[in-house]
Structure 1
Amino acid sequence: MHVLFVCLGNICRSPMAEAVLRHKISQAGLSDRISVDSAGTGNWHIGDPPHQGTQKQLNKVGISFDQIKARQVQPDDFQKYDRIIAMDRQNEQDLLHLARKVDADKVSRFMSLLPNHALADVPDPYYTGRFEEVFQLIDQGTDCLIEELKKQI
């Protein structure tokens, strides 16, 4: 099972989600069955490490972000990944536009993992600076996601 998280620049939300899910997969002993990556719909930060705020939050909770570098979504990602999870509605729409019709069913929005939450999107901490709030949402959502993935592998 291959999972791809997507946000705008791939330096805040999606690399945080990648690192958190990768950590949980490792703890569950599922690293050989589930892989995770992240990408951005934009190309501004290609090759950059996660944002300092993301790094600080992940360091605070002891989750590694080693080897995570920003990249842009590529057309072959729609064949490579089983689940492509957008961090907000705009990125979801951008992904659906990029996806061929046959691949659109792989695309979902992160907050669909938390259907009882008031937010529809994971807020972008690049603009708000609220990295801890974003971490809390990602932590909760990835708990739900890993349970879904366990049923599918």
Structure 2
Amino acid sequence: MKKVSVLFVCMGNICRSPTAQAVFESFVQRSGLAQAIQVDSAGTHAYHLGSQPDQRSQQAALGRGIDLTQQRARKIQAADFTEFDYVLAMDLQNLRALQSYAQAKQAQNLKLFMEFASRWREREVPDPYYGGSQGFERVLDMIEDASEGLLAHIIRQHSLERERLG
């Protein structure tokens, strides 16, 4: 069976999208669906290719038991639009960039990640790069909420509950 695949995208792939990748992976792992769901992250720009996530992102995530140290920044590639079932942007600016890169038939996979959140009214995950540590904690709170909603959506859409129980 083909895995359901999710790609999180922000600008540089060092704060929001690697955090979303790791948080969502932890939700997937805890749900027992690691064999059914593949997760990755990328950036719309090549500012930090090969770099680890921002130290502040790593520290905030580690405070919640999530390790980002194995991740490395990469730029979105044309193949990502066909390989991933969900290409989720952290904000409108990056969603527009993704829409401009994608072919028309691939645009249906593009969404804002926060569309899956239930406890936040904001539809964009703010970039914490230029702020203080509180921004990174807020980003984690938002990502946890949207991850919960995304996982529930994927389970429903792809009938994964039966697979997990079967």
Same fold (TM over 0.5): yes
Q: Which runs of 4+ in 1 moved over 4 A?
A: none
- The count of corresponding residues between Structure 1 and Structure 2 is 153
In the superposition, the TM-score normalised over structure 2's length comes to 0.89
TM-score under structure 1 length normalisation: 0.96
- What is residue 62 of structure 1 aligned with on the other side? 65
CA offsets per residue over residues 13-53 of structure 1, 9 Å max, x none? Answer: 00000000011111111011001000000001010011011
Residue 90 of structure 1, CA deviation: 0.3
Is 1:135 aligned with 2:140? yes
Q: Which runs of 5+ in 1 are unaligned?
A: none
Question: Which protein shows a greater Rg?
Answer: 2
| CA apart distance, 1:127 | 1.8
State the partner residue of 2:125: 122
Shift, 1:116, TM fit: 6.4
Q: CA RMSD in A?
A: 1.2
Using the aligned pairs only, state the percent identity: 40
Corresponding residue SS for 2:41: strand
Answer yes or no: is the 8 Å Cα contact 1:23–1:64 preserved in 2.
no
Q: Which residue matches 1:27?
A: 30
1:11 aligned to 2:14?
Answer: yes
1:88 aligns with 2:91: yes
CA distance in 2, matches of 1:62, 1:116: 22
